[in-house]
Structure 1
Amino acid sequence: MAVVVRAGAAPLMWLGAGAAGAGLLPAGLTGRRIGVLAGAAAFLVAAAVVAGVRRGRYTALTGSASRAGRHDVLQDRAVSVRGWRRGHRWWLLLAFLAAFGSAFAVPAAGGLVLAGCGLGLWLKAAWLGRRERAGGALLWVRVDWLDGRGGGPAGKAVRGYRSTGVAAGDAAPGGARRRTAAPV
């Protein structure tokens, strides 16, 4: 489940950094200095908001997690990341274009907001990873609940999480790649 949260972090941070760097080229309406300062403040606010939104829902779903059954379909980390990025590629492109386009008004601010959203997702995945380590179990979302218009791993379609041991799958707690091979 933290894998799906973390899947958007890297593309948002990289696209945001690229848009902020390219956004420094035009002077914009406000000037570069004001644009960068406003963008830095917006970066911090966006990171805090994205990291904090829906924490109550995540906590409630984590508390009611049931053990994964034999017939539950749980995807590998790479498949989940690839699926999320393919499903959201047009939104990522539109977000990049909007961030770059906003540079003509406020240089670098839109890109820094985008990067802040990516940092917020990474912080949320790290928070979920700490909860997984404390509980001694990886949390999973059923694949069929993620595919619909449910709003992600804490959306309306998700009625509960599944849990497995921390050695299951190819993801470490928090959605990162497992550094060592999983025991057989």
Structure 2
Amino acid sequence: MLQVKPVITIQNVVASASVGQKIDLDLLVKIFPDVEYNPDQFPGLVFRLESPMTATLIFRTGKMVCTGAKSEEESIKAVRNVVQNLRNGGIRIDNDATITIQNIVASVDLGSRVHLEEAARILPRSMYEPEQFPGLIYRMPDPKTVSLIFASGKVVCTGAKKESEVRRSVYTLHALLEEKNLMD
């Protein structure tokens, strides 16, 4: 049988960051009119970038959360760009941001259908309740990820902190499904 390599697409990288100092969000609103800030509804300010296309939540504490990047590299670049934009706008930021990747979400096409009922019986750490959710939930211990596997062969992999963990998780899952004859 022809071995089809899974097609992996990074959909979102979530990174947390901190500049280690307080930031005056009311001042940011005056300097950057395009930011979104409704402190009555949410304590963070939303700073959007067009390139890379991301949204970064900025909190008074100097902590940030960046979402929307399509790679680790893009996520780091986005946070650095936000900090540089703040500096260019006259906001004093003493330190560069310390950045930590928190989660990577990837979509995957395994290239063939998956027998979910059988997979639920065979795979440890899996859960399949089709009346609740159409996919099988599979928890991989190493790397520590969660994959939502659909009968179509489409998979959503989440929980990785590095792109290499996404690849390792997907390739391990694919090999396991093939080894157990759980795919067409």
Normalising to structure 1: TM-score of the pair? 0.23
Normalising to structure 2: TM-score of the pair? 0.23
Greater Rg over alpha carbons, structure: 2
Higher RCO (Cα < 8 Å, 6 or more apart): 1
Higher helix share: 1
